[in-house]
Every structure is written in structure tokens, then in C-alpha cells.
Amino acid sequence: MPGLSDRFGSYLAPDADTLRSAMTKGLIVLDTNVLLSAYRFAPQAREELLTVLSRLQERLWIPDQVAYEFHKTRFGVIAEHRAAYDNVLETLGGHREVYERDLENKIRELANRAALSDHERDQLIGLVRNSMEPVRRKIETLRKRHGLGDAISDDPILSLLQSIFSDKVGAAFESAEEEAAARAAADARINAQRPPGFKDASKEDPHGDYLVWSQTLKEAQRRKTEFLVFVTGDTKDDWYLRVKGKTIMARPELAEEVREVVGARLIVMQTKTFLRHAGEHLETKVSPETIRQAEKLPNVERVRAAKRAAARQAVMQATQAEQMARDEADRGLHLLRRTEKELHEADGYAHEIARRVALAKENLTESENDELLRLFEDELKAASMRREELEKDYQILKARASELRLRADHAAMARVHETAVADYLEG
């Protein structure tokens, strides 16, 4: 009973011979996230990925829906990539500014109290100012090496992908009625919890996976292929059979649908698995580092949830940081006011000593005057020295209070920003 045998075989995880045949003879269809991984990979891994795709020649294909999603999403992926570098550089710059200012103030205070020479003081300050520059330069070098140009006018990765897929993109729906029927079918599958796509009910466009699937089936049927290999970065339950959190194989419902509609064997694999098998069966180099990077690619269906959770955490941390900054600013202001009061009292005390000196000169004999004046002069000298110390402390505390107030304002701005991001992601 070959029919039963074929059907039973389509439900099994593919063995080595099946994988070899599928990789060398089957139709290879890529999901959107596989194309977007070209932006996330480092240059060498990206080159190896594109080389693998080029080797597939006419067996490589993407549905029109994948092309649409790719062009719609790539700007966001590029922006995320740039933001990752920008966030590090911005954080580095912020820490650098505060770190340098704090340490420079301490060095100047040390120079005054320990009688350091101007050369020694400036040498220390120069070392502080140059300490973080190598880190900034290294990050800039890494960003440049990643090779992402302007998303609109200068996108070399897009140019490479366009050269590979110039004649390997499926046709769009022939009419609005055909697309409406496909979307209605997608809704029916979502309601029936039938794969693929039923896990995407909450998405902005819940029909995307099914549109990709229906266009793929149509192309595979047209080509009369023996094997259909669908490569996706998704690991959702509506693509894969998963047991205790482990991905086993393509969903049996999908394998059955491909067998019935196309008469082909379905193999669904993740990007890392595809690259590993490509290295084994397509006579092309795929390094362990490229496989490692593919393993680290974001799990698409979890990215949004992770971003929302991270945004909520960021809001909480920003709120706590703002409160801590406000408390520290309040303590700095309190200390400034106390020092200001002490300085005012020192001024009053010095004036009182000066007044006593004037009275002594008017009312005492010369011998008495000389002795008392010496006492008053010593007291006035001590008062003047104390006032000078208080004046220095006051100026340092004044600058510190201003800095703390600025930090608190920045913390408030950060909290407002993080709240806006969280509200956007939740919406």
C-alpha cells in the first residue's frame, strides 16, 4: 500500500537521506525572518548566508507576501540595529560626562587640599578625559564594519538580496476578490485553531502566515516538486510539533496538507538548521560562527512580548532612578543650604571680631590695646581661614547641587521616554 506508506512517512521526522534529497532537489521557500537575518548577521555570516542562497538558483523562491513583509519590516530592523549601537554610545557618553565631571571635581579638590602642582592636576584630569575614548572608537568601528548604510538611499544588503531574488518572487494576488477569499480562509483557520497562523490572532495583520502558506502551496503545486522545504525563524506551535518545549518536526496537519495538495514531502526547518544542512549538502562553506549567530537570532513570536516586558521593566527602573536622583538632589540642596548658613555665620563672626578690634583701639590703653589686638588678630585670622574653607566647600556643593538637579531632570525625561515606549508597545 504505497499510498499509506507515503502518508505515514510524511508524518515522520526526516532522516539523513530525505534531508539530502530535499536540500539538493526540493523547492526551498524562505519566510520573511530569514531574509531579515541578513541585516542581523555580522558581515562574514551574512556573506555565507547569501552564498548559500545563490547556490540554490532556480530552486529558491519566496511568496509575494514574504517580499511585502520584508520591505515593510526591514526599516524597523535596521533602526533596531542602529539603536542598539546608539544606545550603547549614548549610555557611554552619559556615564562619561558624569564620570569625568565627578572625578575632575574630586581631582581639583585634591589638588587644592594636597597642594598638587597645576601640571600634576592637569595630567590627572587628562588621563580621566581620555580613559573612555578607546571604548567609543571600538564601538564605532564595530558599527561601521557591520555594513548597514542608509535604509533608503544606501542599502547594499538590499541590493544583494534583489540580485539573488530578481526572478524568484511569487506573483501577487490576481484580484482583490482572490485576496479577500484568502483572508477569509485565514480567519476560518484562526477560528478553528488550524495551522498555520492561528497563533497570530493578536497581530496587526493576523493573516500573514496563512497568506505565505497558501501562496507557497500554489507554487509547489505548479512546480510539481517532490520536496517542499520551508525555512523560518519562527518556532511557534502552528509551524512545528513541539513536545515538552522541544521542536520535533513540522506540524502533521501541514505535512498532510502538502501531501494532499502538492503530493510532496514537507520539511520545516529553522534558519540555523537550514544553514547546517546547506553546509553539508550544497558544497558551500558555512562556518560554526555563522551557525552560532543563527542560533542567536531573535525568536520572532517572542520578540514583541520580550520588548513589552523590557519596556515595563525600563519604566519601573526609570521611575526608581528618577526618585533616587530627586532624593540625592534634595540631600545635596540641604547640604548646600547648611553650608550657606555656616558661611553666613562665619561672615558675621568675622565682622564681630573686626568690630571688637575697632572698639579696642578706641577705648584701651596702648599696652592693653597691643595685647588684646594680638588676641583679636589671631582670632580674626582663624575666622578668615575657616571662612575660606567654607567658601571652597560652598562652591563645590553649589556645583554638585546643580549637577544633581540636572541629573534628576534627565532622569525624569528618561522616565517619560520609557513610559511613552511602553505605552506604544502595549498599544
pLDDT in tens, 120-139: 888 888 887 777 778 788 87
C-alpha cell at 252: 502533521
Residue 282: give the domain boundaries.
2-298
Query: Are 280 and 360 in the same domain?
Result: no
Does the pLDDT value for residue 148 go beyond 50?
Answer: yes
Q: How far apart are CA 413 and CA 321, in angstroms?
A: 11
Mean pLDDT of 334-353: 79
Query: Are 283 and 320 in the same domain?
Result: no
Between residues 308 and 404, the one the model is more confident about: 404
From residue 206, alpha-carbon distances to 186, 197, 201, 245, 306 in Å are 8, 7, 5, 24, 19
Query: Are 272 and 411 in the same domain?
Result: no
Query: Are 268 and 390 in the same domain?
Result: no
**Grid cell 510539533 in the structure block, residue:** 241
Query: Are 207 and 332 in the same domain?
Result: no
Query: Are 227 and 93 in the same domain?
Result: yes
**Grid cell 499510498 in the structure block, residue:** 3
Q: What was the pLDDT predicted at 300?
A: 47
362-414: pLDDT as tens digits: 766 555 556 666 776 777 777 777 777 777 877 887 777 777 777 777 777 77
Mean pLDDT of 337-364: 76
Mean pLDDT of 91-108: 76
Q: What was the pLDDT predicted at 283?
A: 83
38-55: pLDDT as tens digits: 988 888 899 999 999 999
Q: How far apart are CA 258 and CA 414, in angstroms?
A: 51
pTM above 0.75, yes or no: no
Mean pLDDT of 230-234: 89
Query: Are 207 and 349 in the same domain?
Result: no
Question: Which of 250, 273, 298 marks a domain boundary?
Answer: 298
Pairing mode of beta strands 60-61, 27-30: parallel
Query: Are 286 and 309 in the same domain?
Result: no
Question: Which of 254, 269, 298 marks a domain boundary?
Answer: 298
Q: What was the pLDDT predicted at 4?
A: 42
The dihedral built from the CA positions of residue 187, 193, 198 and 203, taken in this order, carries a sign that is: positive
Query: Are 68 and 91 in the same domain?
Result: yes
In SS3 terms, the chain reads as CHHHHHHHHHCCCCCHHHHHHHHHHCEEEECHHHHHHHHHCCHHHHHHHHHHHHHHHHHEEECHHHHHHHHHHHHHHHHHHHHHHHHHHHHHHHHHHHHHHHHHHHHHHHHHHHCCCHHHHHHHHHHHHHCCHHHHHHHHHHHHHHCCCCCCCCCHHHHHHHHHCCCCECCCCCCHHHHHHHHHHHHHHHHHCCCCCHHHCCCCCCCHHHHHHHHHHHHHHHHCCCEEEEECCCCCCCCEEEECCEEEEECHHHHHHHHHHCCCEEEEECHHHHHHHHHHHCCCCCCHHHHHHHHCCCCHHHHHHHHHHHHHHHHHHHHHHHHHHHHHHHHHHHHHHHHHHHHHHHHHHHHHHHHHHHHHHHHCCHHHHHHHHHHHHHHHHHHHHHHHHHHHHHHHHHHHHHHHHHHHHHHHHHHHHHHHHHHHHHC
Query: Are 250 and 327 in the same domain?
Result: no
Q: How far apart are CA 228 and CA 259, in angstroms?
A: 10
Query: Are 319 and 262 in the same domain?
Result: no
Q: How many domains does the chain have?
A: 2
Does the pLDDT value for residue 149 go beyond 90?
Answer: no
C-alpha cell at 153: 538611499
Mean pLDDT of 45-74: 92
Question: Which of 298, 320, 355 marks a domain boundary?
Answer: 298
Query: Are 132 and 274 in the same domain?
Result: yes
pLDDT-derived band at 63, boundaries 50, 70, 90: very high
